[in-house]
Structure formats: structure tokens, C-alpha cells
Amino acid sequence: MNTEGQNATDLIETEVTVSETLETVEVPVVAEPPVEAPAAPAVAVNVDDSALYIHRELSQLQFNIRVLEQALDESYPLLERLKFLLIFSSNLDEFFEIRVAGLKKQITFAREQAGADGLLPHQALARISEQVHEQVGRQYAILNDILLPELAKHGVRFIRRRYWTPKIKAWVRRFFRDEIAPIITPIGLDPTHPFPLLVNKSLNFVVELEGMDAFGRDSGLAIIPAPRSLPRIIRLPEDVAGEGDNYVFLSSMIHAHADDLFSGMKVKGCYQFRLTRNADLSVDAEDVEDLARALRGELFSRRYGDAVRLEVVDTCPANLSNYLLKQFGLAESELYKVSGPVNLTRLFSVTGLASHPELQYPPFTPTIPKLLQKKENMFGVLAKLDVLLMHPFESFTPVVDLLRQAAKDPNVLAIKQTLYRSGANSEIVDALVEAARNGKEVTAVIELRARFDEESNLQLASRLQQAGAVVIYGVVGFKTHAKMMLILRREDGELRRYAHLGTGNYHAGNARLYTDYSLLTADVALCEDLHKLFNQLIGMGKTLRMKKLLHAPFTLKKNLLEMINREAAQAAEGKPAHIMAKVNSLTDPKVIRALYKASQAGVKIDLVVRGMCCLRPGVPGVSHNIHVRSIIGRFLEHSRIYYFLNGGDEKLYLSSADWMERNLDMRVETCFPVEGKKLVQRVKKELELYLADNTQAWVLQPDGSYQRLSPTGNQNPRNAQAMLLERLCTPVINGR
């Protein structure tokens, strides 16, 4: 079958370019998508037109902006609003470290390539700079003008220097003398002391000096790197600052006592700054004999990659900011002046204040299905039926318990598991260590190159190896992103397999914060497929034929395109056709083209895409049948669901893979069917909750912007996450 689609294009008699039609597109007033998809216009659009595609980095930036908008939502508790503002900072850091760094690298090496959207890297960088400057200004305005004053009303104060009382000044002076000055190392700049190599995202100060030092030097400049071992905010004792939670910034302390670091000289100015560097590791797996050893070396160099962004306090004079730009080889467009601390992410430490539970989300207890409660032998349950869990509303504990029971069970012979982000000291790893020490054959496929978790994964690999487990680092050139566990058990003289497949990671902490699905099963065909996939990962050989499992980079994309095309063929024949999907990102041009063609044929397509989406919905003649929304709320939407009406024989899959080139072409991913009418209808209804959300949903417009939905007329507010919490979780009453 032609995986590029062979249905809708057969119906097209006339093509026009989308650049022509977009000029006439009116962005509609935000309302919920109609129940019935509109009929296709007589004139269809060429789906290869670059104007039909949104630049992926600009789309990612739009997601970060949606996160920032949550800080303005008064329906959230106050500290949670602060947390969203800080998540925006954290996301923006990674955006520059990886996305912007990648675009700059293309320009540096004269390898500029346009994607399906036709935008070249230098053009994208110009748009990014313009948008980020605007949004960073908004972020600090939200912090200074809204959140900090509101927090102060609740007794959570960040006291600026101009408001320090004599008692606070005396305490700060002692703290600086005893805790900061002994470990701080100011660096004077002169021919024998060149500009220091500064660590990525570290807090630093550029100091303007007047006078000569003991050696007669008068360069006039110095750098103060803030000690990384010190917290960026320090709580003041109540007998010093009064009742409540009162804090001062480390940067304020250093500003106040910079003179003490340069004896006999006058400090004319002290200004904080922070440099962001390229943090993308560049290990060529084909050119190294030991990937783990090479990765350890790269982890150090990540701290000193090429500069991509400079943040300075907005009081820093132009001559000093220009001096810093020159030192780092950055343009003026890469300078960001901020009205406050340059390292806002360090404020995360106050978002979980035990003294203010009323300013945070109310706690909840994830439920455990009754059939798994107090079950000392989960194998007996799974031998009879599949168990599907939706995290965080349903507990991740059964997944851990299954592995713990396997570690202790004398009938269990072997355990195989992939680990992408789990943490070296997690319960999952504890159980694998115990299993290995109990004589089980434990094999762990660890993806060392899980971005920003490389060091933790190296520690994890070492710990498992010391326990006697076999550790495999996956396949060269293909990240192992699949989430799967396989247990081999002897029962009545025969061998039986049990499995876990998931859309998320084996990380109990993330399972409290991310929405994901877990399938626990003993399905013979599915477990046999997993056995083949593990053998393919661990050993060598040709691609093995699977019965139920779809897996990247071999069968997933091909089958996905075929299922999309099948819906298009149904619609072309005048039959009902419907696609629903929930993914983190949608960027793959082939998938987008197939969806466009399906829309042209009349397929109703409803997509929940949390982050990047390069598809333009609502364009007449091409995507008029496609609706795209993003859900931003308390939990990070992370589950991947694919649904196809399939002529009434509904097909529903859960997957570890997003609809991105890297997932479908360059990673080891799994996509597994949900079977049985009861489970299919359950997942379908949960997906439909997200499609009916009118409080946390942002609707993607044809021009690439997003507009937030709100109840209209006599509509009741519908919040998918809140409804799932109410239906599936147990609230914690009075902290018990």
C-alpha cells in the first residue's frame, strides 16, 4: 500500500497554493468545534505548500507562552501560579540550550536548511528573538506587579535592599561575612587574568571598579562568580524580619557587600548576569568504542558549550553589557535585560511551602483498582485479564509491585526492562537490583542519552551492573524510548510471560505529575512480540515479524500512515470516518500531509497536541476538517493515544511515540493496541473528556496562534483533569 496516501488526491481536480487561501482566512471567534465537520470546499489546496506548515521552534515557543499564561489564571492557587511562571523560565532555558543552539549551529557551519515550513534558521532566530524579548518582559512584569505583591499579602515576602531594616542589614552583614565571603572568588580582569570561562547558566556579577589594587593594577573591571553551593534565596529568621516567610536574594547580599571583596577600591557598580550555552551533547556513537565513557566526557563539556544567550539586570549600563556581549561573541539581539533576578528557576524552592498549603493544589491519593488491592500474587490476576491504569489519577504502585513480586518470586526466571528516565535510586531500580541479587536473569536496556538525565542514567547503569544485571545501552544511532517490561515465569511446568507497556517513564515521581497510561498484561501474542523486540535490541538480526505490536523505526510509521489513509478511503466513499489522537508533538511532514489529504477527503480529525504542532488546522480546502487543541493544566499531558473509527471496527492504540520524525524514524518506540470493548470505550471516553474541555484548552488557529477556550452562553465549565481527579482519585482531607 502506498503509505503516502492514494485516496484524496484522486478526487482533486484543481489545486491552489495555501499562500493564496491564507490571505482570505478569517480567524474565527474561539468556540468549541462543531459536532459535524464542514463539507470540503470545491477547490482543494496543494498539501506540499510551505505556507501550510508552522516552524517547529516557533511552535515550541508558543507552548512556552501558553505555560506563562497560566501564571495569570486566578483560578489556580497562588504558589502554583508562581510555579507556572518558573516552569516558563526552565522551559526557556532548555529552548535556548537545545533549539536555539541548533539553529545557530546550522548558521555557523553554513548548513542552513529549511524545513517543510520554508523558514531558514536565520529567519527563525530573528522571529524567536522578537517574541522572547516580549515574553520575558511580560514574565517579569507578572512577577513584580502581580505575584510578588499577592504573595506578600499572604506573608511570603522577598525583601529588596531598599526595604532592609537596620536589623536585617546587620544579619545580612554577618551572613555575608561568615557564609559567603569565605567561598567567593572575585576575579580581577587584566592581561594576566583574562575573562574567565563561566559555567552554563551560573549566576555571575560584572563589577566596575575605581582605584588601584596592591599591585598597581587598575583595569577597572572584575567578575564575581556566585558560589553554586549556596542557595539563591535565603530565609530570614523571624526575630530578624518578623512573622511570615521572609527571604532575601543571594544576589542582593553580594550587591550590598561587593565593596568588602575589593579592599581599598571603590565599587562603582555591580550587576548580575547569566550566560546560557549550547547544552546539546555531540557524541558520535559510531566513532566511539565505549559510549558510556565518551558520554562522561561530554557531560563536562556541556557546561562550557558555545554561548547562545546573555541575561543581565536591566540596570546594567550599555558599556558593560556590550563588553559582555563581545566577550561571548553574541549579538545585541541575544541580550535580554530583566527586571529582577536573572536565575528565576531557583525560586522553585518556595513553591512547596509547608506553611502555606492553601496556596497550593489540594493533595490527592491516586487509587488502585480493587482487583489489585492487597494482592500478593498479581500474576494470578493478570493471567485472567488485562489491567489498564491512567496516571496520576490511578497509582503507579501496581507497576512497582509487579516488579517487586517478580524479584522475590522463586518461579520468576528472568526480567527484561527498558529504562529511559527512572533515577538511579528509584523503587523500580531497587526491585531490579534485588531481582539480580536473587539470581534472576535481569537485563536492562538503558538509554544513556536521555537529555539532561545522562549522568543519572550512568549511575543507574553502574548500580545495576554491580548487582549482577546485564546492562545494554540500546542501539547505535537510535534512542531506546520505548517503555516496556517483560517477566518470564514458570507455571505448572510451562513458561509464561507477563508484561508492562506504558506511554510514560519508569519514574514514580513523574507518575504523580504526568498523565500517562500503563497496560499490565499476559496476552500471549503481545508478550511474544515484546520478547522479539527485546531480542532485537539486545542481540542482532533481521526485523522480526510482530502480531500486535507496532514499533519504530520499522512498522509504526508505515502502519500509522496506512490507518490514516484507510479513514480517507472510507470518507471518499461517503462512509463515516474519524481520527482522534493525543500526542505531545506533531511535526512529521509525512504524517501531516496524510492528515491534510484525509481532511480533504472528508475525515473528521480531532487532535490534542500539547506542545509543538506544525500542522495548520482550519485552512479551507486542506485542513477544514481538522481541529487542534492543547491542554495546559495541573498535570503535564504526556499520554499518546491514537484512535481510528475504521469502518466501525474501532482501532485504539497507546504509544510511547509522538508524531515526530525523531520518534517515528530515529527511535525505538512501541505502539500497542487496547483490546476489549470495555477498555477501548474507557480510553475513548477519557480522550473525549479532553476534546470537550472548555477551561484549560487552547485552540490552534490557522495563523499559528492559540486562543483559550472559555464556557459560553449557558455552558457548564468542563475541566478534563479536574473531572478525572474527581472520578478516579481520593481527596486528602485535612492533610490525612
The annotated binding site for ATP is made up of 91, 514, 610, 638
How far is Cα 464 from Cα 291, in angstroms, rounded to an integer? 17
**Which of the 8 DSSP states describes residue 154?**
T
Give the phi and the psi of residue 137 in degrees, each rounded to 5: -60, -45
Q: What is the DSSP letter of 334?
A: G
Distance CA 116, CA 139 (A): 31
Give the strand pairing for 578-583 and 604-609: parallel
Which runs of consecutive H residues, i.e. helices, occur in 143-165?
148-153
From the list 468, 471, 446, the residue with the least C-alpha distance to 668 is 446
Strand (E) or helix (H) holding 102: helix 101-108
- Catalytic residue list contains 481: yes
Residues near 194 by Cβ (< 8 Å), separated by ≥ 6?
A: none
Tell me the sheet residues that pair with 364: 731
Query: Is the torsion defined by CA of 365, 370, 372, 374 positive or negative?
Result: positive
578's grid cell: 474519524
Q: Of residues 481, 500, 507, 624, which has the active-site annotation?
A: 481
| Helices 720-728 + 677-692 axis angle, to 10 | 140
What's the CA angle centered on 568, arms 565 and 570, to 5 degrees?
115
Contacts of range 126-132, beta carbons closer than 8 Å, 24 or more positions apart = 126/333, 127/55, 127/58, 128/57, 128/58, 128/61, 128/100, 128/103, 129/333, 129/334, 131/58, 131/61, 131/65, 132/61, 132/92, 132/336
Residues making up the annotated binding site are 91, 421, 451, 514, 610, 638
| DSSP symbol at 279 | -
Length of the chain: 736
Q: What cell numbers appear for 653 in the block?
A: 492504540
Q: For residue 540, what are the CA distances in angstroms to 175, 415, 475, 484, 536?
A: 61, 19, 10, 19, 6
Distance from C-alpha of 22 to C-alpha of 500, rounded to nearest angstrom: 46
Nearest Cα to Cα of residue 272 among 334, 339, 213, 326: 339
Q: Helices 556-572 and 589-601, interaxial angle, to 10°?
A: 10
DSSP codes of every residue in 491-518: ETTEEEEEEEEESS-S-TTGGGTEEEEE
Helices (H), 257-317: 291-301
Feature table: binding site for Mg(2+) = 421, 451
> Do 600 and 14 contact (CB within 8 A), yes or no?
no
- b/e string for 322-336 if b means 16 or more Cβ within 10 A? ebbbebbebeeebbb
Do you find a cis peptide bond into 317, omega within 30 degrees of 0?
no
Look up cell 543581565; give the residue: 312
Please return the burial class of 515, using the count of CB atoms within 10 Å of its CB with bins 0-12, 13-18 and 19+: buried
Which of the residues are catalytic? 481
